[in-house]
Structure 1
Amino acid sequence: MLLRGVISLVLNAVALIAVAQIFDSFQLDGFGTALLASVILAILNMFVKPILVILTLPITVITFGLFLIVVNAIILMITQALIGPSFVIDGFGTAFIASIVISLISMILNSVVRDIRR
């Protein structure tokens, strides 16, 4: 169980690094910063995201869940603010697109690792 969580954090850090390679407006200082961002994202997703989801439930229902991408971008911007200058996202638009790409990359990486472990 603990190993699964550590693997998930590392895979999310890899996804963050991949996004930093794709977008010039998304910058990380290295793997350590990506791992720290992954840990902070996990904590925010546990405690802050549920509150944001409840607060935005009406618009989320109206948009058939697509507004959750905005919530993910907000969580990403909060993470960037907490880490400081070693993690920079140039604007909400970048955070929005990055949150989509991070989700896709993480989903693919987690699927590959899950298939390998079987």
Structure 2
Amino acid sequence: MRATVYYFLLTTYYYYMHTLYRYLGTVAAVILTVYLVPGVTITGGWLSTLLVALVWSVITMVIRPVLQLLTLPITILTFGVFSLILNALLFWTMALVVPGFEVSGFLSALLGAIVLSIIAWLIQKVL
């Protein structure tokens, strides 16, 4: 009984620490994206940066899979190009939701979504 409780606590601890590391990796990816992509700015300081990372995490875990499923026929017809457009639209929508996060145009949103996805993927592969 005691070993089971210990195992539960240990696995719960590792799960939450892994989630925290992934979130901090997303924060780093957001900072690098703002630095690398012209037209993407954060004016609210650290709080806005943390909020952008949180909103992007929710978008990639909850909203994007549903939209990808709904737009699957269009994605197939365009050979996957619509998936990039969908990511750009979600990135641009994030600028409307998060105060202090600004995207100057669709091209910046497209480039920002691509860069953020690649950097976040690379960081999370390392973790």
Q: Distance in 1 between matches of 2:61 and 2:124?
A: 19
Confirm whether residue 103 of structure 1 aligns to residue 117 of structure 2.
Answer: yes
Gap runs ≥5 in structure 1: 114-118
SS of 2:81 mapped into structure 1: coil
Q: How many Å apart are 1:91 and its aligned residue?
A: 1.1
TM-score of the two chains, using structure 2 as the length reference: 0.77
Q: 1:4 aligns with which of 9, 18, 27?
A: 18
Task: Give the structure 1 partner of residue 9 of structure 2.
Answer: none
The CA RMSD over aligned residues, in Å, is: 1.6
Does structure 1 conserve the Cα–Cα contact (< 8 Å) formed by 2:26 and 2:57? Answer: no
Rg: which structure is higher? 2
Give, as a single letter, the amino acid of the residue that structure 1 aligns with 2:95: Q
Q: Is residue 87 of structure 1 aligned with residue 101 of structure 2?
A: yes
Return 92-101 or 66-75, whichever deviates more: 66-75
Question: 4+ runs of 1 displaced by more than 4 Å?
Answer: none
- The 5-angstrom pairing of residues 24-43 of structure 1 reads 24-29=38-43, 30-43=45-58
Partner of 1:116: none
SS of the residue corresponding to residue 7 of structure 1 reads helix
Task: Quote the sequence identity (%).
Answer: 26
> Which consecutive unaligned segments of at least 5 residues does structure 2 have?
1-14
